Structure 1
Amino acid sequence: MSEQIEIPPAKRSLKIFFHSMEAIGHQNSCIGLAQELQGRGHQIIFLLTEQFKGNMAKYGFEEILLTNGNLTKELVSKRETNKNPIKELGELFLSTGMLGPGNSLEKLKVMEKNHFSPGISDKVIAYDPQIKQALEQEKPDLIILDHYLISPTFTQSGIPYVILYSSTPFLLYNSDKLPPPCSGLSINSDPSNWGEYQDILKSFCKSVIEFQKKINNHLGYPPPEQTKNENVFHIHTSPYLNIYGYPKEVDLQTILSLPDHCIQLDAFCRDEDVDFEIPEQLALKDNEKLLYVSMGSMGSVDVSLMKRISAVLKQTPHKYIVSKGPLADEYELPPNCWGKASLPQTAVLKHVDAAIIHGGNNSFTECFVAGKPIIVMPLFGDQYDNGQRVIDTGYGVSMDPYKFEPEQLIKAIDYVLNDEQLRVRFERAAERIKRDRSKEKACLKIEELVN
């Protein structure tokens, strides 16, 4: 076993801007990295829209709110809006078919048809004057971005910037040695079967590029150089540094070399500073185990899906902690389940024996950090790739959440709870992640950009 290396303190305090997509998963990845940087003495300021007011302040970060009026900067102690942007987005996903039955190819077609870029690009343009004002007023030393359409004011400011990729590395590597991102195809699959996926993604990527060109043109900037390659899913890469989070146990570096100016860390994994206590009704008896269930902030909006899964959980001799999502009041859980609309996931994972997850990258990587075997039920996007990686590497089970037979899920639960070899592999992965301190090392790289 290798010795823990010494991580030197920061040479000086930096002022760092964070800006991410308006989605919980993207925000959580940023929070995880921001916490580590804040712990090293840096000042963290999030630029976010009014709908998410307070989401960052509760972690001790400053917030600059992007509004339709004047730019405001304030420390916010609690959320002060009745709007639920996650519920609204989830309902949009349901109405378009992004949530619901369908394989990965069908979901890619839905993504291409129901393009969300027009609305996002309009917001980028609308918020740009406030972004420019924030940069001029605050003069940050560094900017960290997690977005697929970006205000060129960030990238053309002359301030070093980092691109944070909160999704799987399939979306970043862009190699013909890998199956298309969001396909859920194995790296061992026949490339002759990749063509239709590649065509859909190429069409989608070209349209994203056109939206970014329109943003740049509207704001008086030249098109970004990255648009020369029209097959790249993430059209933005930073000439300074690009970071993604994915455990080495399932990463792609055994197949490919890291892209230029890119580093891998095991997980962004935010720290929920709460003492989570197991509810009394979930007290375990002999031979009972405890599992965590989450279909993510989007998947939990599909109440029929949550009912379908919980109906099978009822048939097992185990107990379950369920993240019920924004529609928690619209359905009841069986007696062997307990849940709330929102749970401190990283704190909960410490108490369970295994997890059933949708395969979003945060949940996926956080289970590795906690050392908990997983059942992946992908719904859309890169969740399919994460599901396939656990199959290819032998780190769990993946199944279609809308098509599984009850006995299939029951058998999978039995496997992840009782397979000793799987349990040991996850425990060793968690030990290795803790020992390697990859997030702290990433902070050193970030600091080097400025120092």
Structure 2
Amino acid sequence: MADRKLTVLFMPESAYGPTNNCIGIGDVLRQRGHRVVFAAESSWKGRLAPLGFEEELVDLTPPPEDAAGQDPGQFWKDYIAEISPEFRKPTIQQLETVVRPIYEELIEGVKYAEPQLKEIIARVRPDVIVEDNVVLFPALATAGVPFVRMLSCNPLEVPGPDVPPPFSGLSTGDHGAAETFREEFERTHGEMWTAFNAYVREQGGPELPHLQFMPEGDLNLYLYPEIADYVDRRPLGDGWHRLDSSVRRTGVPIRLPDHIASGDGSLIYFSLGSLGSADVDLMRRVIDALAGTGHRYIVSKGPRHDEIELAPNMWGAEFLPQTKILPLADLVITHGGNNTVTESLHFGKPMIVLPLFWDQYDNAQRVHELGLGLRLDTYGFQAEEMRSAIESLLGNAGLRRHLEEIGETIRGRDGVERAADLIESAAR
């Protein structure tokens, strides 16, 4: 039994963060001789097979006529670009204008994909299924094999009375504002949750926890470094296992142009993620603030790269191998996506966080309140405020030593190997 080769079916949410997390873990399982299959949203066609995985494509909406030319996760890039003006609102207002519409879109995708997933499961015959998403696809939890829940968002997604509510960006001690936020979440999401819970039960799935859109699995993995976790205030049960990081071991070393590889000042990495970088006005505003400093910058330009002009002290491209760049950087300016935050801590780097939506506010607040970086007002910061934050973090030798030690500890825990071990155990 111990040597039996397994068939592992991954279904990540169609965005780079969850997909890259599953790729890293899947690659370890593949190298151990297991068959690894991705039930990937259709815009990922041809992107996973070259990495050694089998592809089973899933449509979440009726396919567009030009689907063959779509970039991975294109649906969400377009959708986020459409609602991005709402990111300027306080988080409690975003519950109605950002968070609920995203859940609604996700739920529609669940319903459209359900018959496709049943066919894929019957064809693939997995030994274990791993879902990395914020809503349950019932077919995955009713397949008669162990179901692994992967949580690669901020772990506040699993709520508790002594921690801030998810999506709020509140500090851990702001109890009054937290209760107000929870009440607004129930007002804006309660009816939708009730209907989705009924749908899941109709498909033979489990009862969902109140106001949560994912149940616990037979095995539950979550991605967050211990140094930033909330276990002192909201311990999770024995069915939960933390991965301090999940960094892919794929890709080749990056070659930087000479004026960036060496020169005056520190080397700083700037990325708003594949979705946030679609806000060209914000990208330009940050670039203008950085252009007047004495440092060098690597800029992830994103899907609208042809509309973004970099200053002479910068270099960048549409896509960059983030895990190859982070070890070289002295500082990271980020939107606060969970993968970027955990990868920055994995490599021991301080952060300036400019949150936009979803759990990015929670990550930004956690980094700020633990002194691992600084949170700035994404749309309200002044250029001098950004420059002051950069110099403050670069000049804090004690913080940089502390982060180097944190990074060394996280890397020693080897999250992708641990995840592969746990998935194997769940299957067997």
Do Structure 1 and Structure 2 share a fold, with TM-score over 0.5? yes
For the residue of structure 2 that corresponds to 1:446, the secondary structure is helix
Alignment of structure 1 residues 296-307 onto 2, 5 Å: 296-307=273-284
Residues 313-341 of structure 1, C-alpha deviations (whole Å, 9 max, x = no match): 00100010000000000121111111101
In structure 2, what residue type is equivalent to 1:221? Q
Which of these residues, 134, 138, 141, is aligned with residue 120 of structure 2? Answer: 134
Alignment of structure 1 residues 262-411 onto 2, 5 Å: 262-286=240-264, 288-411=265-388
Give the TM-score, by structure 2 length. Answer: 0.92
Q: Is the 8 Å Cα contact of residues 143 and 154 (structure 1) preserved in structure 2?
A: yes
Distance (Å, rounded) in 2 between the aligned partners of 1:68 and 1:403: 36
Distance (Å, rounded) in 2 between the aligned partners of 1:121 and 1:182: 18
In structure 2, what residue type is equivalent to 1:439? V
Q: Is the 8 Å Cα contact of residues 325 and 340 (structure 1) preserved in structure 2?
A: yes
Which of these residues, 220, 235, 255, is aligned with residue 257 of structure 1? Answer: 235
| Per-residue deviation, 1:279 | 1.4
Comparing 313-322 and 42-51, the one that deviates more: 42-51
What is the aligned partner in structure 2 of residue 110 from structure 1?
97
Residues 232-277 of structure 1, C-alpha deviations (whole Å, 9 max, x = no match): 3x43221x11111101111112223223411101112223321101
In structure 1, what residue type is equivalent to 2:39? L
Residues 115-154 of structure 1, C-alpha deviations (whole Å, 9 max, x = no match): 2344433333333233222222221110000223333222
For the residue of structure 2 that corresponds to 1:225, the secondary structure is coil
What is the aligned partner in structure 1 of residue 214 from structure 2?
235
Which of these residues, 161, 173, 176, is aligned with residue 188 of structure 1? Answer: 173
Which of these residues, 72, 82, 92, is aligned with residue 95 of structure 1? Answer: 82
Say what the alpha-carbon RMSD is for the aligned residues.
2.2
The percentage of counterpart residues that share the same residue type is 33
Comparing 251-260 and 15-24, the one that deviates more: 251-260
Distance (Å, rounded) in 1 between the aligned partners of 2:389 and 2:197: 47
In structure 2, what residue type is equivalent to 1:202? E
Which of these residues, 225, 232, 257, is aligned with residue 207 of structure 2? Answer: 225
What is the aligned partner in structure 2 of residue 212 from structure 1?
196
What is the aligned partner in structure 2 of residue 145 from structure 1?
131
| Per-residue deviation, 1:381 | 1.3
Distance (Å, rounded) in 2 between the aligned partners of 1:157 and 1:20: 17
Structure 2 residue ranges without an equivalent (≥5): 62-66
Q: 1:175 to 1:122 in 2, by over 3 A?
A: closer
For the residue of structure 1 that corresponds to 2:101, the secondary structure is coil
Distance (Å, rounded) in 1 between the aligned partners of 2:338 and 2:198: 30
In structure 1, what residue type is equivalent to 2:210? E
Structure 1 residue ranges without an equivalent (≥5): 1-9, 70-79
| Per-residue deviation, 1:107 | 2.2
Q: 1:62 to 1:207 in 2, by over 3 A?
A: farther
| Per-residue deviation, 1:176 | 0.6
What is the aligned partner in structure 1 of residue 64 from structure 2?
none
In structure 1, what residue type is equivalent to 2:324? A
Which of these residues, 418, 422, 426, is aligned with residue 445 of structure 1? Answer: 422
| Per-residue deviation, 1:201 | 2.0
Distance (Å, rounded) in 2 between the aligned partners of 1:68 and 1:198: 29
For the residue of structure 2 that corresponds to 1:339, the secondary structure is strand
For the residue of structure 1 that corresponds to 2:281, the secondary structure is helix
User: Which contiguous aligned blocks of 4+ residues in structure 1 show a shift greater than 6 angstroms?
Assistant: none
Distance (Å, rounded) in 2 between the aligned partners of 1:205 and 1:264: 28
Name the count of aligned residue pairs. 422
Per residue, is there more helix in 1 or in 2? 2
2:26 corresponds to 1:34: yes
For the residue of structure 2 that corresponds to 1:115, the secondary structure is helix
